[in-house]
Chain A
Amino acid sequence: MAAVTANTRTLMTDPVRLSERSGRVAAPGGGGRSAETWKRDILRQLRHRDLSQHDRFQDLIRFYTQLLDKTSLAKGILSCSSRRLSSDSSSLSALRHQNNQLKKTTGELAYQVVELQRQIKIKECVLEEQHARLLKEERRLASAFDARQELLERVEQVQAENGALKTEYDALLERQRGAETSLREEKVRGGHLLEDMIQLKKQAAARMNSRNERRSRAREANLQKELQTAARSKVTVDSPSSAPTSRSTSPKNENGSTERKHTRLFRSASVTSPRILSSIKGLFDRKRRGHSVCSLEEDLMCPVGVCLSARVPVRARQVLEAHEQGINAVRFSSSSDLLATGGTDRVIKLWEVRAGSLTHRATLEGSTEGITCIEFDPMGRRILAASYDKSALLWRLEDSVPKLTLTGHSRKVTAARFSSLSHQVVTGSADRTIRLWDLQRAACVQVVEVASYCSDLVCSENCIMSGHYDCKIRVWDTRTVSCVQELPAQGKVTSLDISSDHRKLLSCCRDDCLQLVDLRRWSNDRMCFREEGFKCGSDSTKAVISPDGCYLAAGSADGAVYIWNVSTGNLETRLPDKHSSSISAVSWSLSGEYVVSVDKSRLAVLWTDI
């Protein structure tokens, strides 16, 4: 033991010096580091102290103590026995004493045994108790384990559910993303469309501007030319007139006032001016040829002209390519000297009808899409057209730009008619509505919702008749704006026409049949006109009643014009060979002498009886 402890002192002091040195080195290094240094130093010194003072002696001292116990016990026994051996002759009392002592120790030992056994029993009891507790705990553990298993299963289940929900969610998300992408694309496309539209509108405006400019320039040039010719003719007129009469004014005065010049010209130069002469002649001509009872004055004032007899045309007097694209509509004015044609090329052309020939007089522009229907007003001063551009347009004959544009329909306008009230017009549209418009306010005054596409309509006194794609002709009362009657038709109604005495209604249907209804006896009297070879060419083929009500005219898909006699119900004539494609519309002049048919391949044909 002494050997072990021999150099404790040096061992103890050495690390102290070492640490001191390291502490001194570390001190200037900084507060934080030195703080760690002293703590680590203390820890190390404590370890070292325990190693040298505690750990080394621990076992030794324990063993020594045990040894001491054993030796004392052995010594006790030895001392007893040795004493017995050595002093054999010693007194019995000593032996007895020894015996007693031994007995006492035995007793003590026995007591110890008993004590120990009792302790064992107690321990066993404790053990048993602990065993029982252990069992209980095990059971609890098992139940807890079961519960855990159950929970785990539930967790799994919930996780599976969550997974399903997640996939569902993901799918929804994917769909949403797709929808968003398509939405974005649609928006981009919408933007492009809008841009395109704006571009187109700009182009249209530019075109319109250039046309207007061109027109005004042309007008100026015309004016210039007229002025020049006037200046020139003035010399020819003036020189003879100034010679016989001194009443004529100076050339300068003549330029100043047109009215005066007009009257004077009329009087003084009646023989010499060929224009005046021809116009007067034309007036007489018309009167003679038309067999019309209404005079020129009457024609202007009272629009209802009556034609006594219409002559069935037999020959084509003129064939001309009237438009740049297909022609959809044709209509004579009530005075029969003016014809209007409207086509897919977005313009209406006015033609002067004179001596069996058509002369281009004016072009009415303003529609942005093809024209579907044309009508002159009863006075012959205005012209109403329906257009594919969802609007109806109204021109005055002297202006090439529209006076009014009636917008409000959501699809193409198929028909536009002047109503019996002169300031109202009625339009029918593919958007299944019929609208009434007030021209003075240029506004829609009434909208009638119809169940079907309206293809055509006509107006009579207080009622409107409209033809529809659901094979029905509906009669509306304009005062109550309600459908008063529905007339059946055989097919989609493509056009309607009413006789000039407002007694008969003609409808053309897609089943290649014209139907004439007597409006005075609703639905009872119905005549059908069919002919082999006659085929209704399109959904907007227009048929007409002749102005005297004796004939019906319609163009067929085979390019021939068919004319039926109403009184016999038979075909009167068939005019073939001029059209090469389906005829879209015909018109019969109010004078009864002309029929014009137009087709999809840009041709217009003027038919007469001569």
Chain B
Amino acid sequence: MADDKDVLRDVWFGRIPTCFTLNQDEVTEREAEPYYLLLPRVSYLPLVTDKVKKHFLKVMKAEDVEEMWLEYEGTPLKWHYPIGVLFDLHASNTVLPWSITVNECWTQIRLHINDNNFPDRDLLHCTSNSVIEAHFMSSIKEADALKHKSQVVNDMQKKDHKQLWMGLQNDKFDQFWAINRKLMEYPTEEGGFRYIPFRIYQTMSDRPFIQKLFRPVSPEGNVHTLGDLLKEMYPAALPNDGEQKRYQVVIHGIEPLLETPLQWLSEHLSHPDNFLHICVIPTPTD
């Protein structure tokens, strides 16, 4: 179990070195220096980019900039995905640090001129942290609905919900896991959760992600592994015999072995929103 606890810690404290640069199109007083930051993998972009915003505001002429959106190599980064997922999905095999372009938009323009550069098609507006909190809590509830028919999360008190959120917001591992532990419990006789809350992301697809019902244990009583899940959901991700591996299956920046039990993955490698986010990306061709 000591190993399992280490895994939880490593997952929580995973960091991505990031370089923020201001979009060249932005109107500035003077040239902006790039800003470097270690981003927590399990968090959300708006929660950790306050300093970035402040840094770039110094050089901006306009003082009424309200919202900031980020993109990587022309791809707008969805704030409602965990940072780690964004990195694994878009930039896992690129040179570090991860360079993100910062775009600023100010209210007046957005309000008055419809011709704004904000990618409304790809991004949601994030006006305050309460929006993120709502999204985060809804994810947890959805995951618990899959795992325990929402019994655990409904039995929790309001302050427990708050503690989960505050734990994530303030990067407090112990505070978060004191409550999250309950969400990861399951009756021993069943051998696992009812369904595994997972999402499979792919780079080249119109669908945002794959999410279906999948049990951790087969009807015959065998334990389902990561390989079983992929075979069911995304057979193309598995390498055929004698063939060069075409896809990488990345969780938290690592590639777990396909025989890893899915239940254990769900307990230990899930994000704080209780979902197991799996990225399937093409193997880089050197």
Contacts and interface: CB of A to CB of B under 8 A. Distances in A.
B95 A38 contact: no
Interface stretch (B186-194, B229-237, B247-255): B247-255
7 contacts: A16-B255, A23-B257, A23-B259, A49-B253, A57-B36, A58-B38, A61-B17
Contact of A53 (B4, B7, B16, B36): B16
A23 B260 CA distance: 10
A1 B97 CA distance: 8
B66 interface: no
Given A54-B38, A57-B17, 11 more contacts: A4-B96, A6-B95, A27-B259, A35-B261, A42-B7, A46-B7, A47-B10, A50-B14, A53-B17, A58-B15, A61-B36
B139 to A, nearest CB: 23
B7 A65 contact: no
A5 B257 contact: no
B284 interface: yes
B11 A46 contact: yes
Contacts of A71: 33
Contacts of B38: 54, 57-58, 61
Given A8-B96, A46-B10, A52-B96, A41 B36 contact: no
Contacts of B97: 1, 5, 57
- Pairs A-B, 5 closest by C-beta atoms: A57-B17, A45-B254, A5-B96, A46-B10, A54-B15
Given A5-B95, A38-B259, A53 B15 contact: yes
A43 B253 contact: no
B36 A60 contact: yes
A19 interface: yes
A49 B36 contact: no
Nearest to B36: A61
A593 to B, nearest CB: 122
Interface residues of B, number: 37
A210 interface: no
A2 interface: yes
Nearest to A36: B3
A9 interface: yes
A432 B264 CA distance: 99
Contact of A65 (B36, B92, B96): B36
Given A20-B257, A41-B257, A42-B260, A49 B17 contact: no
Interface string B133-163: 0000000000000000000000000000000
Interface in A19-56: 19-20, 23, 27, 34-35, 37-43, 45-50, 52-54, 56
Nearest to B59: A72
B182 interface: no
Contact of A72 (B36, B58, B261, B284): B58
Given A43-B10, A64-B36, A53 B260 contact: no
A60 B93 CA distance: 21
B6 interface: yes
Given A12-B93, A49-B253, A57-B38, A43 B6 contact: yes
Interface string A250-268: 0000000000000000000
B15 A46 contact: no
Q: Which applies to chain A's interface (DSSP): helix, strand, loop or mixed?
A: helix
Contacts of B254: 16, 42, 45-46, 48-49
A40 to B, nearest CB: 8
A276 interface: no
B5 to A, nearest CB: 11
Given A9-B284, A23-B259, A54-B15, A49 B252 contact: yes
B10 A8 contact: no
Given A23-B259, A47-B10, A68 B35 contact: yes
User: Looking at chain A, what size class is its interface with the partner chain?
Assistant: 35 or more
B119 interface: no
Contact of A54 (B6, B17, B260): B17
B37 interface: yes
Interface string B78-98: 000000000000001111110
Contacts, number: 106
B256 interface: yes
Q: B92, B259, B264: which has the most chain A beta carbons within 10 Å?
A: B259
Given A2-B95, A9-B93, A57-B38, A45 B260 contact: no
Interface string B1-29: 00110110011011111000000000000
Given A5-B96, A52-B96, A53-B17, A37 B257 contact: yes
B96 A57 contact: yes
Nearest to B6: A43
Contact of A41 (B10, B253, B256): B256
Contacts of B259: 23, 27, 34, 38
A38 B257 contact: yes
Nearest to A79: B30
B162 to A, nearest CB: 28
Given A52-B96, A53-B16, A46 B252 contact: yes
A5 B94 CA distance: 9
Nearest to B225: A38
Given A2-B95, A5-B96, A43-B7, A53 B253 contact: yes
Contacts of A23: 257, 259
Nearest to B10: A46
A68 B20 CA distance: 13
Interface in B48-94: 55, 58, 92-94
Nearest to B268: A42
A168 to B, nearest CB: 51
Nearest to B19: A1
Nearest to B58: A72
A6 B7 CA distance: 27
A50 B10 contact: yes
A50 B11 CA distance: 10
B37 A42 contact: no
A45 B36 contact: no
Contacts of B94: 9
A57 B10 CA distance: 17
A54 B10 CA distance: 11
A236 B20 CA distance: 171
Nearest to B258: A23
Contacts of B35: 65, 68
B14 A49 contact: yes
Contacts of A56: 17
A11 to B, nearest CB: 10
B10 A53 contact: no
Contacts of A6: 95
Nearest to B4: A39
Nearest to A61: B36
A595 to B, nearest CB: 116
A195 B215 CA distance: 88
Contacts of B15: 50, 53-54, 57-58
Given A8-B96, A38-B256, A39-B3, A61 B14 contact: no
Contacts of B16: 53-54
Contacts of B33: 68, 71
B37 A53 contact: no
A38 B254 CA distance: 12
Interface in A182-210: none
Contact of B3 (A43, A49, A58): A43
Given A8-B95, A61-B17, A42 B36 contact: no
A9 B284 CA distance: 9
B257 to A, nearest CB: 4
Given A38-B256, A42-B7, A46-B7, A61 B37 contact: yes
Q: A5, A8, A57, A58: which has the most chain B beta carbons within 10 Å?
A: A57
A50 B14 CA distance: 6
Interface in B186-227: none
A45 B255 contact: yes
Q: A12, A47, A60: which has the most chain B beta carbons within 10 Å?
A: A12
Contacts of B95: 2, 5-6, 8-9
A38 B284 contact: no
